[in-house]
């Protein structure tokens, strides 16, 4: 999925389930392309807001625990932790 679409999906996912699903199929290095739009005249403010929000979610240890609760019955908790660590 192109990064700008990933960012848009992340921005509207209040329960963060979509975020966790995207994390498992995306390569963290691909998100570097988002930086191209941070200073864009038309969308820069929105991209910055989304990038900051996403960073906050990924760095929050509670997000890992929420993912384990949401997916723990069918995804190994160690795999969930590994995915978050990769990001």
Cβ count within 10 A of residue 73: 7
| pLDDT (tens place) for every residue of the chain, 87 residues total | 444 444 444 444 555 566 666 777 777 787 778 888 888 899 989 988 988 888 888 888 888 888 888 887 888 888 888 888 888
Q: What sections of the chain are H helices per DSSP?
A: 3-11, 17-25, 44-59, 61-71, 77-86
């Amino acid at each position: 999925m192109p990064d700008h679409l990933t960012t848009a999906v992340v921005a509207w996912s209040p329960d963060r389930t979509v975020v966790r699903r995207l994390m498992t199929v995306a390569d963290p290095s691909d998100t570097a392309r988002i930086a191209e739009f941070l200073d864009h005249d038309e969308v820069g403010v929105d991209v910055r807001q989304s990038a900051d929000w996403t960073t906050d979610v990924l760095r929050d240890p509670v997000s890992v625990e929420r993912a384990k609760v949401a997916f723990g019955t069918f995804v190994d908790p160690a795999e969930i932790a590994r995915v978050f660590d990769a990001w």
